[in-house]
Structure 1
Amino acid sequence: MKILAFDTSNKPLSVAVVDDGKVLAHIESTEKKTHSVSLLPDIKKGLEQSNLTVDDIDLIAVAKGPGSYTGVRIAVTVAKVLADTLNKKLVGVSSLKLLATNGDKKHLLVPLMDARNDNAFAGVYVNNRDGRLLTVISDHHTSMKNLFETLEQYESQELEFINATPRLAELIQNHFPKASIISTEDSLPDAAKLSKIAETTPAVKDIDNFIPTYLRLTQAEHDWYAKGNKEDKNVSYVEEV
């Protein structure tokens, strides 16, 4: 099965073309360009390096969030358009689950995305005997304080925090001094690993209604609700804007 996989949910951009587990092309970009500018050229480059066209692809795999609002929207939109117009299967994978693949299989894996003000997007995963990641605690938006309280049931040395910014690493070290920590620089998202997860993930049944996973309101939505608006039978935030 030929898979085109890509992730723009974080600062790095990752694109891979994989055929039955063999990586044909792998493009990583940390340049300061917007993903909206880079994604399609990188997909084209990956296909050219693989000596394939987009028509040869069987499945499109995309990191569906959480992460950068703009980045997640870009990837999901491109994935939906390609899957719909070319009649290809589409698989969406948690961006946190993808980050968890950078961890040590013997640990309880806690992938993070810094959400500022000592908050984070976080999930908890563990590898089963087949090497597949199983969800222990679903992805959610949380304060680090609440996350630590949730993780108190585990031994510090069992935990491995992945994609920790310097500030999050500081908080983790203060609370779980024996936990393993993988920094942001050492845990970049990898589209080749995304393709592997996608192989065992059910395809999206309704491409039109496939949406990114944000896990929290955008600032604009937050402000809209704060003004006393509410989503009901009369009007929703999306309809009003």
Structure 2
Amino acid sequence: MKILAFDTSNKPLTVAVVSDGNILASIESTEKKTHSVSLLPDIQQVLKDSKLSIEGIDLIAVAQGPGSYTGVRIAVTVAKTLAFTLKKNLVGVSSLEVLAADGSEDKILVPLMDARNDNAFAGVYQYQDGKLVNLIEDHHTSMEKLLGSLKQHGSDKLEFINATEHLTDLIKDVYPGAMIMDTKDSLPKADKLAKLAENKPVVSDVDNFVPNYLRLTQAEHDWYQKGHKKDGNISYVEEV
């Protein structure tokens, strides 16, 4: 099976074509680029390097979030468009799970994305029989609450992934013996995203496939602050 996988949910951009577990081509960029500008050319490049056309792809795998609102929207929009127009299967994978895939197989893995104000997007994972298992669902939380929820695990059993300098300081105060992989060393890998996608269900309704933000966007927050009710059938975009 030939998989096109990409992740633009954070500052790094990663794109890969994987065939039956073998990486045919990949691009990983940490340069400060606009993902909306670089994603499609990078997809074209990995297809060219793989000597494949987009029609030769069997599955499209995308990091569905959480992460940068704009970054997640870009990847999901491109993935939906390709899947719909080319009639290809689509799979969404947690951006946090993609980060966790880079962790140690003998640790409790805690992938993070700094959400500011001592908050984070976080999940808890563990390798079992060579596969990642989700122990605590991805969620938006305070670091205090997250660190408190991990007390049943010994400090030396924990590995935090993608921790900013500030989050690292918070972690060390509570778990001085934990392994910490900082942001520069915990880059998402599209080939690992592709591998994770192989064991995920295919999206049954591409039209209704949406980013997993894990918290309200600012527009939604402002909408509800005005007294509007949460109704999935009503747009939070106000007519003027």
The structural deviation recorded for 1:182 is 0.4
Aligned equivalents of 2:183, 2:214: Cα separation in 1: 20
1:172 partner letter: I
Please name the residue that 1:56 is paired with: 56
Distance in structure 2 (CA, Å) of the matches to 1:61 and 1:240: 35
What's the secondary structure of 1:33's corresponding residue? coil
CA distance in 2, matches of 1:233, 1:102: 36
Matched to 1:7, the amino acid is: D
Aligned-residue Cα RMSD (Å) equals: 1.4
Whether the aligned pair in 2 keeps the contact of 1:230 and 1:236 (CA below 8 Å) is no
Match of 2:214 in 1: 215
Deviation at 1:232, TM superposition (A): 3.5
Q: 1: distance between equivalents of 2:27 and 2:188?
A: 11
Alignment match, 2:203? 204
SS at match of 1:46: helix
Q: Distance in 2 between matches of 1:113 and 1:15?
A: 20
Deviation at 1:235, TM superposition (A): 3.6
Task: Give the structure 1 partner of residue 194 of structure 2.
Answer: 195
Alpha-carbon contact 1:121-1:141 (below 8 Å) kept:
yes
For 2:68 and 2:16, the matched residues in 1 are separated by 20
After alignment, is 97-106 or 221-230 more displaced? 221-230
Deviations along 1:139-174, one digit per CA (max 9) or x if unpaired, are: 000000010111112111111000000000000001
- Find the counterpart in structure 1 of residue 151 from structure 2: 152
Distance 1:16 1:232, change over 3 A: closer
TM-score, reference length from structure 2: 0.97
The 5-angstrom pairing of residues 15-94 of structure 1 reads: 15-94=15-94
- Per the alignment, residue 9 of structure 2 pairs with 9
Q: CA deviation digits over 1:166-201, x for unaligned, max 9?
A: 000000001111111000000000001100001111
Whole-angstrom distance in 2 between the partners of 1:240 and 1:125: 43
Aligned AA for 1:60? I
* 4+ runs deviating over 6 angstroms: none
